């Protein structure tokens, strides 16, 4: 049809399954297995109809100010959005507008190439080494911007802050985005580097470590000029990107640091125990500093294990993609959930 000539055609991102199966164990989308902070749950009960009836604050002040206080920043250094996907998409639109290709790893978050195609941004991928680590030399060439997750997804591999700074330092003439969706489960954030580098944007989320994936809260931190450019793009697109409940509940979650540390610590402890058990069963994986394990078996194809787990209503993630088609990404659930997974794997293997 003639009108299709003017349609922007994109191969979309494919999110993890959201099945509704009674008694299932859901370990496929890296959600937190524990509830949000008690204060968040109390705030939900106290909400009134006005939270739905009135427009939200377009400046998202209650959440922006809460994040600025929590991370020791000025409010002008914080930008919030509807999940880190919204924040990252806005950053692509805002900062990656040159003629040179942007750079990101070949095995990484699979939304990056989708956004690049959507916004018609040229890009090149840089191959991770045999152990799924970034090769910093690959990012020391002319480019229109750089983005990478740290720790990486789906591999779980963390790069030390020294390597991150090496890449930022080598690219002072473009914006470098470090996507830290999983930083709360291990490693050192690049956040302190924003005081030294005006071209660095650090993006995080409430979806994983703060148990609020359903609320869709993400945020970026950088120098005031970067944040102002992001805000200008947002207000040219949609003034009311975040709803009132999300702003209120996000700010409430930041108040309970003890609970945050408790549940992230619990997930890390479970992760380390499960690593040891998987090794006994013949699994191999890069050392993960996230809330998931990216594992391959020494002799049984990942696709077979994936299907066998699915038939037992245990959901993990599998991609039929180059380099990672024989890996499963297994979210760290509760100890009880992981024990059920391990019990089945012992029987199956």
Mean predicted confidence (pLDDT) in 85-100: 97
Q: Please state whether beta strands 123-126 and 102-105 pair in parallel, antiparallel, or not at all (unpaired).
A: parallel
Can you read off the two tokens belonging to residue 34?
A: 């524990």
**Ramachandran class of 5: left when φ > 0, alpha when ψ lies in -120 to 50, beta otherwise:** alpha
User: Is residue 15 over pLDDT 90?
Assistant: no
User: Pick from 243, 221, 241, 240: which is nearest to 91 by CA?
Assistant: 221
Q: Which helix (H) or strand (E) holds 104?
A: strand 102-105
Tens digits of residue pLDDT in 222-241: 999 999 999 999 999 888 88
Instruction: Reduce the DSSP state of residue 179 to 3 states and report it.
Output: strand
d(CA 115, CA 89): 6
The answer to whether 26 and 309 have CB atoms below 8 angstroms apart is no
Higher pLDDT, 6 or 333: 333
pLDDT tens across 314-343, in order? 999 999 999 999 999 999 999 999 999 999
What one-character DSSP code corresponds to residue 98?
A: S
Question: Among all chains, which residue has been given the structure tokens 């294990």?
Answer: 305
Model confidence at 56: pLDDT above 90: yes
**String of b and e for 129-148 (b: at least 16 CB within 10 Å)?**
eeebbbebebbeeebbbbbb
Which residue stretches of 236-256 are H helix? 244-253
Residue 84, φ and ψ in degrees, nearest 5: -65, -20
**Residue 145 token pair:** 């911007």
Percent of the chain at pLDDT > 90 equals 91
Q: In terms of pLDDT, which residue wins out, 84 or 22?
A: 84
Q: Which of 10, 20, 175 is nearest to 91 (CA)?
A: 175
Residues 188-226, buried b or exposed e (16+ Cβ, 10 A)? Answer: ebbbebbeebebbbbbbbbbbbbbbbebbbbbbbbbeeb
CA distance 170 to 192: 17
pLDDT at 50: 85
What is the chain's length? Answer: 349
Q: What angle do CA 40, 43, 44 make, to 5 degrees?
A: 90
Cβ neighbours, 10 Å, residue 231:
17
pLDDT of 51 reads 86
49 band by pLDDT with thresholds 50, 70 and 90:
confident
Give residue 134's pLDDT band: very low, low, confident or very high (50, 70, 90): very high
Instruction: Fill in the DSSP letter of residue 184.
Output: G
Tokens 């524990």 sit on residue: 34
Does the pLDDT of residue 19 top 90, yes or no?
Answer: no
């Amino acid at each position: 049809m003639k009108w299709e000539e003017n349609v922007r055609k994109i191969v979309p991102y494919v999110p993890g399954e959201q099945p509704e199966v009674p008694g299932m164990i859901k370990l496929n989308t890296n959600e937190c297995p524990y509830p949000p902070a008690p204060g968040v749950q109390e705030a939900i009960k106290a909400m009134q109809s006005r939270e739905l009836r009135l427009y939200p604050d377009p400046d998202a002040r209650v959440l922006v100010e809460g994040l600025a206080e929590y991370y020791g920043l000025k409010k002008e250094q914080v930008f919030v959005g509807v999940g880190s996907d919204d924040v990252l998409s806005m950053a692509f639109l805002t900062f990656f507008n040159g003629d040179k290709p942007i750079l990101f790893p070949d095995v990484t978050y699979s939304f990056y190439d989708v956004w690049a195609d959507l916004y018609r941004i040229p890009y090149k991928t840089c191959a991770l080494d045999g152990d799924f680590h970034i090769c910093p030399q690959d990012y020391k060439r002319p480019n229109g911007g750089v983005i990478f997750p740290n720790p990486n997804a789906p591999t779980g591999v963390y790069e030390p802050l020294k390597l991150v700074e090496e890449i930022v330092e080598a690219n002072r003439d473009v914006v470098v985005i470090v996507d830290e969706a999983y930083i709360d489960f291990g490693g050192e954030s690049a956040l302190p580097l924003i005081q030294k580098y005006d071209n660095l944007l650090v993006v995080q989320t409430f979806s994983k470590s703060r148990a609020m994936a359903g609320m869709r809260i993400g945020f970026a931190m950088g120098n005031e000029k970067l944040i102002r450019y992001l805000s200008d793009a947002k207000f040219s697109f949609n003034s009311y990107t975040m709803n009132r409940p999300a702003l209120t509940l996000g700010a409430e979650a930041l108040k309970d640091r003890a609970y945050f540390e408790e549940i992230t610590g619990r997930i890390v402890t479970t992760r380390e125990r499960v690593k040891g058990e998987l090794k006994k069963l013949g699994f191999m994986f890069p050392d993960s500093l996230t809330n998931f394990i990216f594992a391959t078996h020494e002799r049984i194809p990942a696709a077979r294990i994936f299907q066998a787990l699915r038939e037992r209503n245990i959901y993990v993630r599998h991609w039929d993609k180059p380099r990672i088609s024989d890996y499963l990404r297994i979210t760290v659930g509760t100890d009880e959930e992981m024990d059920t997974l391990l019990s089945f794997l012992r029987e199956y293997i």
